[in-house]
Amino acid sequence: MLCMRRIAAILAVALAMGLSIPARAAADNDRFVLLVSGASGDPAYATTFRRWVDALTTMLHDRFQYAADHVVVLTETPKAGESKATADGVRQAIAALKPRLTATDQLVVILIGHGSDDASGAKFNLVGPDLTVKDWSELLASVPGHLAVVDTTSASFPFLAGLSGHDRVIITATNSVAQRYATVFPDAFIQALSSDAADLDKNGRVSLLEAFTTASRTVAQHYEQGGIMATEIALLDDNGDGKGTIAGTENAADGNVAAVTYLQGAAAQTSTDPETQRLLTRQRELTDQIDALRRRRGEMAADEYNRTLEGLLTELATVSHDVRQRQGQ
């Protein structure tokens, strides 16, 4: 069970750091997703994996307005527009994506299926020969732009250290090599990506940090409420140290980049009406001031902090209310 303190810690990371950094990959055509659903090994898993792939692709296209060619899908049994989830298929897909990506673009790689770990290293199980974490590291090494990898599989833990790097978000469903059972994290993560409840800062979008946090909570509940021992605990690394952080960790070293990494694009508000634009400008100023104030919280007396915060929040509420009124909302 998560306690309030843990949730507050999650938010502290997102708020203290996230809002002061411009959201990345703002334009729709700058964002790409590579979705690989590997070998299922069992009809029941095949059904489940297919359901997750379909849910994700539908979300990306319909809800997040991704262009068809910005979502590359490799599966065990490809449907129209999909490719075979083989090692060669992965190599070709990444090779095809590289020239399309610029330094400001964003690629999110999502792995669904089974993982394994043996003497030859951790692997993501594909149709035919697998790719080890080392193979993936080499394949992704020269990808331009911002990279996020979400490995939702069993035995995914070694991918955290293996793929960790500067300005990269790496999420794994497990946090130790001993966690080798099928995971429920992918289901929770996909649900979180499109859930209003996962939008913890209520900015209208779910960041990878918010999805990770919400999914981790769902996974923990799954095991706790079922009265069964948890066989998976997800990790996030985005500071490049390859160590990873569990959701809810206080004063976490990770989370700053994931907090501003979104699958969904942002619509920056502007107006041709001068008064509305003035209000929007003031709205942004106030938001920035609130962010700055919260970062200084530890240095301020509680009374002064609360008084200043209340003033700023009240003015922001008034301005935002006026904006909404002028926009007819």
Angle between helices 185-193 and 43-58 (to 10 degrees): 20
Residues 122, 157: contact at Cβ < 8 Å?
yes
CA dist 142 → 92, 97, 262 (Å): 14, 11, 22
User: By C-beta, is 95 or 292 nearer to another protein?
Assistant: 292
The least CB distance from residue 287 to another protein, in Å, is: 6
User: By C-beta, is 58 or 306 nearer to another protein?
Assistant: 306
- Could you list the residues that contact another protein (CB under 8 A)? 1-8, 11, 15, 197-203, 214, 217, 221, 224-227, 286-287, 290, 294, 309-310, 313-314, 316-318, 320-321, 324
The least CB distance from residue 82 to another protein, in Å, is: 29
User: By C-beta, is 11 or 182 nearer to another protein?
Assistant: 11
Instruction: Give percent helix, percent strand, percent coil of the chain, each to the nearest 5.
Output: 45, 15, 35
Residue 192, SS3 per DSSP: helix
User: By C-beta, is 27 or 292 nearer to another protein?
Assistant: 292
Give me 294's structure tokens: 């919260």
Looking at the chain, the number of H-run helices and the number of E-run strands are 9, 10
User: By C-beta, is 101 or 293 nearer to another protein?
Assistant: 293
The least CB distance from residue 214 to another protein, in Å, is: 6
The least CB distance from residue 284 to another protein, in Å, is: 10
What residues contact residue 289 under an 8 Å CB cut-off, 6+ apart? 312
The least CB distance from residue 156 to another protein, in Å, is: 24
